[in-house]
Amino acid sequence: MDRKLPEGVAPYARTPLFTTQTVPDSLKSKHETKDGTYGRLVVERGEVSYFLEGDTQPVAKITPDAAFIIFPQETHYVQLAEDTAFYVEFCREEKA
């Protein structure tokens, strides 16, 4: 699965920095981005495990080494290792 942002897609908003203590419960349960909205999950420390709906094994374990792209309307949830900090940058097609 190719996890790159398509050409012409750019950031427009981002979440605050979430930690193991401050991550909202809604991110730890099934949710999805809007139609046309990509997420770029960036881990500053620790590790985030990314699960697709129905999976018992993570699709990816995201570390500070590389960001992870979340596709539009992809139902997913995350689990955090201890002492993790991350944010999500929301991206969409740039308007001409």
Which CATH number does the domain housing residue 44 bear? 2.60.120.10
Q: Tell whether 49 is covered by a domain.
A: yes
Q: pTM for the full model? A: 0.92
What phi and psi, each to the nearest 5 degrees, are found at residue 32? -150, 160
Q: Tell whether 44 is covered by a domain.
A: yes
Q: Tell whether 51 is covered by a domain.
A: yes
Number of domains the chain is built from: 1
Q: Does the pLDDT value for residue 2 go beyond 70?
A: no
Average pLDDT over residues 34-50: 97
Q: Does the pLDDT value for residue 52 go beyond 60?
A: yes
Ramachandran quadrant class, 54 (left: phi over 0; alpha: psi -120 to 50; beta: rest): left
Place of tokens 């944010």: 87
The domain containing residue 36 runs over which residues?
Answer: 9-93
Q: Residues 86, 18: contact at Cβ < 8 Å?
A: yes
Percent of the chain's residues with pLDDT above 70? 97
> Kind and range of the H or E element at 40?
strand 38-45
pLDDT per residue as tens digits for the range 72-96:
999 999 999 999 999 999 999 987 6
